[in-house]
Amino acid sequence: MKIHNSIRVEFPSRSLNESFARGVVALFMLPLDPTLEELGDMKTAVSEAVTNSIVHAYPGEVGRILVKCRIIEDDTVEVIIKDWGCGIEDVSRAREPLFTTGGDDRSGMGFSIMESFTDVLKVKSRPGKGTTVTMIKRILGKADR
- Catalytic sites, residue numbers: 48, 52, 106
Angstrom distance (rounded) from CA 2 to CA 39: 22
Gyration radius of the chain's alpha carbons: 15
CA terminus-to-terminus distance, the chain: 24
Q: What are phi and psi of 71, to 5 degrees?
A: -100, 120
Give the residue from 75, 74, 72, 77 showing the smallest Cα distance to 46: 77
- Judge whether 88 and 125 are in contact, CB under 8 Å: yes
